[in-house]
Amino acid sequence: MTQKKIPKGFSVFFLSWFYAGLSPKAPGTIGSLATIPLILLLHYLDFNLYALVILILILYLISIYLTQKIQTTHKLHDPQWIVIDEVIGMLITWSFVRETDPVSLFWVFSLFRIFDIIKIWPASYFDKMLHGFGTITDDVISALYAGITALFILSFF
């Protein structure tokens, strides 16, 4: 999709995670990397797990609504510039380890990207849905796989 076909407004600002998703190369990877400052801030603020879950749930619900609205209005299906699902996925993956040292962040980022790309069932099922719910939920499922794997790997270090 070319830049001029991307809608304007707050929804794009939010769904593209402050326009990180407008990167011409690897927007999902850039969106995932752009989540690291938020993770560092949440760690610095000592966000407890309950507050993190509430934040993720709020982002999830708002994202589904806005994604569905954008996709319906502009006749799109899971446009690459929507990377809020990567943000949510990174937060979910990080919630399993809750550390911000370079090794932990490496595993959180790498495993989330791997699972997001390969889309193990049921993520692959949701990825094919023509609704904002599917656009966001496939990354949630991939993040759960990534988080469990990261927890397992990091428990050995």
Predicted confidence at residue 1, as pLDDT, reads 41
Give the domain ranges of the chain: 3-9+18-154
Residue of 70 and 148 predicted with greater confidence: 148
Share of the chain above pLDDT 70, in %: 96
Q: What is the pLDDT of residues 38-95, one digit of tens each?
A: 999 999 999 999 999 999 999 999 999 999 998 888 887 778 889 999 999 999 999 9
The three state secondary structure string of the chain is: CCHHHCCCCHHHHHHCCCCHHHCCCCHHHHHHHCCHHHHHHHHHCCCCHHHHHHHHHHHHHHHHHHHHHHHHHCCCCCCCCCCHHHHHHHHHHHHCCCCCCHHHHHHHHHHHHHHHHHCCCCHHHHHCCCCHHHHHHHHHHHHHHHHHHHHHHHCCC
The pLDDT tens digits of the residues spanning 10-49 come to: 888 999 999 898 998 999 999 999 999 999 999 999 999 9
| pLDDT for residue 44 | 96
